[in-house]
A and B are shown apart, each in its own frame.
Chain A
Amino acid sequence: MSTIGNAFAPVRDAMDSVGDAFQRMNKWQKYSFYAIVVIALYLAPFWTDIPVLGQIIDTPGTQFSTVLNDQVIIFVLVALGLNVVVGLAGLLDLGYVGFYAVGAYVTAILTSEHGNLPWLLSLPIAVVVSMLFGVILGAPTLRLRGDYLAIVTLGFGEIIRLTAKNMDWLGASRGISNIKKPPSILGLKFGVLDPKPYYYVGLTLVLIVVFVLHRLEYSRVGRAWVAIREDEDAAELMGVHTFKFKLWAFTIGAAVGGLAGVHYAGKVGFINPDNFPLQLSILFLAAVVLGGSGNMYGAILGGILVAYVPERLRNFADKRVFVFGVVLVLMMVFRPEGILPKRVGDEHKRRRRSAQKEGVAQ
């Protein structure tokens, strides 16, 4: 069964070696490493200029940096947020697109339809409103478990979309246009043609979210989430206020989803209810599960793959959804934990060390 799963083993080992080398580095070496990675990420729109590699990664039909911003950044942000809800706290949320829509709509309303606020000011407001929606959805429903919660959240996503579609105040099906763009700072111009400035803003948001979520994951809060996912009853009997922490997971997930919506609205300038279909919720979930539910870096990888691969394979446009489906099915059969699941404990180190010793003995 795990023969294909084992195909990941060399990759895993290579990554472990990198990880070990990383752990041996001192503080300054680590910081320099982070700095190089971050700079490389900010330069991502120019990766296509690299000989050979650039040709391989370039997306046909769409500008590479457009894919990076409109697809990859959005999916990575959303996967990060959804990973808190699904991956850490173990709450199956099938209506995550609802929070994404709330974020986008709040920005649209405040900067265009019913207000004249700058985009930057609408951002915190939209995030807070998304969190409120998280509480509104979570407070009554988080007493439900498993399948029931999934169905309620599924309904939530649809309610948000249908409400937007039928309320004139929200622009109904014609949507909202002329949404304000991020402010021009540091010489960046947020126009229509060049997606790079948006990508820089999006990447900055991703880095901030990663930083915050990392701190949460390795704290009392993160432990409570994982304990709830592993055994909710046992967690409660060990003194975890399960309802409170489930609600926090929902709220924080909603905040990140809303943030992705704000970024999306700021880039496209025009939204309508059809931008937030149920299918998007499914894709978001697929990104988290494919990448490795419960591991932030797995979720990021999943987000990148689900967003980027279909664009890269645009030449096979009519078959790519089929291929994507087949890949997902195969993944669930052979590697249900995702490409990059969270590694718990340090057993692998000992195993590898003893394997190395054997190698020496031979």
Chain B
Amino acid sequence: MSDILLDFNNVTMQFGGVTALSEVTLQISRGEILGLIGPNGAGKTTCFNVMTGVYSPTIGSVTFNGQSMAGLKRFEITKAGIARTFQNIRLFSQMTAVENVMVGADARKKSSVGGAILRTPRQRREENEARERAMELLTFMGISDRANNAARNLPYGYQRRLEIARALATEPQLLCLDEPAAGFNPAEKQELNELILKIREQGYTVLLIEHDMNVVMKVSDRVAVLDFGKKIADGLPADIRSNPDVIAAYLGVDDNAS
């Protein structure tokens, strides 16, 4: 509990009469990989969307780095240090891979219209920095060989990695991955696991929303479980695995249980 990066305090999120999240309290410590799991419709993505400012909670508060997230616009939340990827890939398909990542890197840049027209020294420096950083990240993600291809022409696995690279380019403190293993085969999942661990080594805190238990259990330091909008468990992966509530939520209650 020493260094809490994100504090999700008693958050309830309602859409009309539907309660997607109900009094969820969740903390993410700096430097950890937190897995967030739950059956379909448990509220994982809603949780995510509240964190990244897509929705603002009906009740409760989100504090990031000791700063309240209430009233911040989405791009301000990104600048505060939360970046995300999307469950269904949402790249800028008519831009090249490197340009996609540069859009992320641009979040930390300042030069605007005047700088671009006059090509001021600062603008040129920022432009070079963004491009270099983007190439670094593509190399880090192992996809630099297709840096100048249009994003829409990249293979599926590359697109998923490109999303992560784009998110990392915004220099986040917290990286939120929304089902990054969706559609991957076991070998690709294995690579992804290694990648996520590598990302953490670089000093990022990772929130991982995932369906695939193998991925979550292997890489997470801690796992939180949502079911019907409520947090039903929170602990070490090994404990979660044997938690009867979690098993019930995932597998249903076994009628023949002795």
Of all chain B residues, the one with the shortest Cβ separation from A343 is: B150
Q: Which of B84, B96, B106 contacts A240 (CB 8 A)?
A: B106
Interface: A227 (CB within 8 A): yes
Interface centre among A221, A224, A229, A237 (most CB of B within 10 A): A237
Bound complex: CA A216 to CA B118 (Å) = 10
* CB atoms of B117 and A238 under 8 A apart: no
Q: Which of A215, A221, A226 contacts B112 (CB 8 A)?
A: A221
* CB atoms of A239 and B94 under 8 A apart: no
Bound complex: CA A220 to CA B109 (Å) = 8
* CB atoms of B74 and A236 under 8 A apart: yes
* CB atoms of B113 and A221 under 8 A apart: yes
Bound complex: CA A34 to CA B135 (Å) = 31
Tally of A-B Cβ pairs under 8 angstroms: 108
B115-145 CB contacts (< 8 Å) to partner A = 115-117, 119, 123, 126-127, 130
* CB atoms of B75 and A215 under 8 A apart: no
* CB atoms of A223 and B113 under 8 A apart: no
* CB atoms of B116 and A215 under 8 A apart: yes
* CB atoms of B149 and A347 under 8 A apart: yes
Chain A residues, CB < 8 A from B74: 236-237
A311-362 CB contacts (< 8 Å) to partner B = 342, 344-347
Interface: B78 (CB within 8 A): yes
Interface centre among B99, B119, B167 (most CB of A within 10 A): B99
Interface: A2 (CB within 8 A): no
* CB atoms of B92 and A346 under 8 A apart: no
> Could you say which interface size class chain A belongs to?
20 to 34
Of all chain A residues, the one with the shortest Cβ separation from B114 is: A221
* CB atoms of B95 and A226 under 8 A apart: yes
* CB atoms of B90 and A231 under 8 A apart: yes
Interface: A241 (CB within 8 A): yes
Number of B residues near A (Cβ < 8 Å) is 44
* CB atoms of B106 and A239 under 8 A apart: yes
Distance of B126 from chain A, by nearest CB (Å): 7
Taking chain B's interface residues, is the majority helix, strand, or loop, or is none over half, making it mixed? mixed
Interface: B52 (CB within 8 A): yes
Chain A residues, CB < 8 A from B86: 234
Interface: B170 (CB within 8 A): yes
Of all chain B residues, the one with the shortest Cβ separation from A294 is: B94
B160-206 CB contacts (< 8 Å) to partner A = 166-167, 170
* CB atoms of A220 and B96 under 8 A apart: no
Of all chain B residues, the one with the shortest Cβ separation from A223 is: B103
Interface membership of chain A positions 203-229, coded 1 if the CB is closer than 8 angstroms to chain B and 0 otherwise: 000000000100110011111101101
Chain B residues, CB < 8 A from A233: 54, 90
* CB atoms of A345 and B153 under 8 A apart: yes
Interface: A252 (CB within 8 A): yes
Bound complex: CA A221 to CA B84 (Å) = 22
* CB atoms of B94 and A248 under 8 A apart: no
Distance of B144 from chain A, by nearest CB (Å): 14
Interface: A242 (CB within 8 A): yes
* CB atoms of A237 and B102 under 8 A apart: no
Distance of B48 from chain A, by nearest CB (Å): 11
* CB atoms of A223 and B102 under 8 A apart: yes
* CB atoms of B116 and A241 under 8 A apart: no
Bound complex: CA A230 to CA B86 (Å) = 15
Chain B residues, CB < 8 A from A283: none
Q: Which of B96, B119, B126 contacts A215 (CB 8 A)?
A: B119
Bound complex: CA A273 to CA B103 (Å) = 42
Bound complex: CA A234 to CA B89 (Å) = 10
Chain A residues, CB < 8 A from B111: 219-220
* CB atoms of B96 and A344 under 8 A apart: yes
Interface: B68 (CB within 8 A): no
Chain B residues, CB < 8 A from A215: 116-117, 119
Known contacts A224-B106, A238-B78; A230/B93 CB under 8 A: yes
* CB atoms of B75 and A223 under 8 A apart: no
Distance of A191 from chain B, by nearest CB (Å): 34
* CB atoms of A345 and B149 under 8 A apart: yes
Q: Which of A219, A222, A227, A239 contacts B78 (CB 8 A)?
A: A239
15 contacts between A and B (CB under 8 A): A215-B117, A220-B112, A222-B116, A227-B103, A230-B95, A231-B91, A237-B74, A238-B78, A238-B167, A240-B106, A240-B107, A342-B94, A346-B96, A346-B149, A347-B150
Binding site for A on B (CB under 8 A): 52-54, 73-75, 78-79, 83-84, 86, 90-96, 99, 102-104, 106-109, 111-113, 115-117, 119, 123, 126-127, 130, 148-150, 153, 166-167, 170
